[in-house]
Amino acid sequence: MDAQRAELCALEAEVAVLRRACDELPVPWSETSRIQKLFQEIHPSDSAGGESSEDLRSRVGRLESELAFLNTVTGISIRNYSKQTEDLTSTEVTEKNIKKVVQKYRLSGNCHMVTFQLEFQILEIQDNESLSSVITDLNIIMEPTEYPELSEFICRAEERRDLFLFFRSLHFFVEWYEYRERTFKHFKEKYPDTVRLPEGACSRCMSICSASRPGFELVIVWRIQIDEEGKVSPKLDLLTQVPQRALKLDKSRVVETAPLSFRSLLRVLGIEAALESLIRLLCAENH
């Protein structure tokens, strides 16, 4: 009872300190409120026809606000862009009223922590009825070692010349990547003695070991997969390291079936709760 009361006092004190710290820090803007603030800073134009009367400064301001908005909304920041046009319309083609133009583009920027460089060509054919645009070449230049989970997907996107798919899947990949980073970091901070991140902050795996049970280690490998259609999903696996003596005692083959049981646990509890329960399992004696 005394130990409990002591803990209660300590917790109350800690909560009071954290509350004060929270009050001193500003509330970060959510995406939506940031967009609202950005929008409030713009002086809307009077009408579409009023552009000539606006001075350069306000026009520039408006364009840059549009850019800031797009940056916030897409999560993509474009640094460099260049365009080269080549007119392929030959004289005989002109007689049939068909126009052929090739546009060459260079684009570079980043989506959060992923930097990209693109070179692509678009062939535009305009005839009497319609305008068709086809990407005839796509080169995606990225550092192959930085994000190895992306390399297969990049090859496929280049083969299919699917530029929009590249950006869409990149966005979802970044979302999952940052979620994985946040989750592992959270557990590392909550259980500093039990949890290790072998590859550092952007680790793809998290290892759990207990000082009171040396020789036992649980490793959770969290891969981010991009399938044939460009859909991004997480894939988590459990690896166990158990001393020989303990394996011999394991009559009901708990260790052997652990990876499968982990998959079921994930389905039932979700990622965070499943990881938390595994950590609690091994560090039960520490508390």
260 is an interface residue for other proteins by CB under 8 A: no
Site for other proteins in 167-196 (CB under 8 A): 167-168, 171-172, 175, 186, 189-190
Binding pattern for the stretch 32-71 against other proteins, x by CB under 8 A and - elsewhere? x--xx--x--x-xx----------xx-xx-xxxxxx-xx-
- Interface residue with other proteins, options 51, 74, 269, 277 (CB under 8 A): 74
Given the complex with other proteins, which of 190 and 235 has the nearer CB atom? 190
CA–CA distance, 54 with 56 (Å, rounded to integer): 7
Given the complex with other proteins, which of 221 and 271 has the nearer CB atom? 271
Residue 252 Cβ vs other proteins, minimum distance, rounded to whole Å: 32
Residue 75 Cβ vs other proteins, minimum distance, rounded to whole Å: 6
What are the DSSP calls for 253-283, one per residue? -HHHHHHHHHHHHHHHH-HHHHHHHHHHHHT
Residue 124 Cβ vs other proteins, minimum distance, rounded to whole Å: 9
CA–CA distance, 195 with 210 (Å, rounded to integer): 9
**206 contact partners, CB below 8 Å, separation of at least 6:** 184, 187, 188, 195, 196, 197, 219, 220, 222, 275
- Interface residue with other proteins, options 140, 150, 154, 163 (CB under 8 A): 163
Return the bridge partners of 210, or none.
Answer: 213
The closest alpha carbon to 239, from 255, 223, 218, belongs to 218
Q: At what angle do helices 254-269 and 271-282 cross, to 10 degrees?
A: 140
Site for other proteins in 78-137 (CB under 8 A): 78, 81-83, 105, 107, 118, 120, 122, 132-136
Given the complex with other proteins, which of 195 and 242 has the nearer CB atom? 195
Q: Segment near other proteins (CB under 8 A), from 75-83, 140-148, 204-212, 259-267?
A: 75-83
Residue 90 Cβ vs other proteins, minimum distance, rounded to whole Å: 23
* Residue carrying the six token digits 């299919």: 160
Given the complex with other proteins, which of 120 and 262 has the nearer CB atom? 120
Site for other proteins in 212-251 (CB under 8 A): 228-229, 231
Using CB under 8 A as the binding criterion, the count of chain residues that bind other proteins stands at 76
Q: What 3-state class would DSSP assign to 79? A: strand
**124 contact partners, CB below 8 Å, separation of at least 6:** 99, 100, 101, 102, 103, 131, 132, 133
Residue 203 Cβ vs other proteins, minimum distance, rounded to whole Å: 18
Sort strands 195-196 and 131-141 into parallel, antiparallel or unpaired: unpaired
- Interface residue with other proteins, options 99, 100, 112, 161 (CB under 8 A): 161
Site for other proteins in 7-26 (CB under 8 A): 7-8, 11-12, 14-15, 18-19, 21-22, 25-26
* Residue carrying the six token digits 């408006």: 62
R_g of the chain, CA atoms, integer Å = 28
165 is an interface residue for other proteins by CB under 8 A: yes
CA–CA distance, 70 with 78 (Å, rounded to integer): 10
Residue 57 Cβ vs other proteins, minimum distance, rounded to whole Å: 6
| Residue type present at position 240 | T
Given the complex with other proteins, which of 162 and 217 has the nearer CB atom? 162
